[in-house]
Amino acid sequence: MKRIVLFYAIAFTEDGRVVADLQDPSGAFPKVTGVTETADRLYLHTLNPRGLAWLAR
């Protein structure tokens, strides 16, 4: 059986409505544990020490 590693993050409003759904099935940046949002970027928190990941908004 093939192991699948992916990045998946979902943002919700306080009432539970999904406002963002980010996925990376390539597994290029696995073990994401959180996301920090700034005005221009999303920074990904990880357990993997390969580096820092961010996405432009």
Q: Where are the domains of the chain?
A: 7-56
In this structure, which amino acid lies at residue 18? V
Instruction: Give the pLDDT band of residue 5 (cuts 50, 70, 90).
Output: low
> What pLDDT score was predicted for residue 12?
92
Say if pTM beats, i.e. exceeds, 0.75: no
Q: Is the pLDDT of residue 53 over 80?
A: yes
Q: Give which of 25, 15, 14, 20 is closest to 35, Cα–Cα.
A: 20
- Does the pLDDT value for residue 18 go beyond 90? yes
Percent of the chain with pLDDT over 70: 95
Query: CA 28, CA 31: separation in Å to the nearest integer?
Result: 10
Confidence label for 3 from pLDDT (cuts 50, 70 and 90) = low
pLDDT at residue 28, rounded to an integer: 78
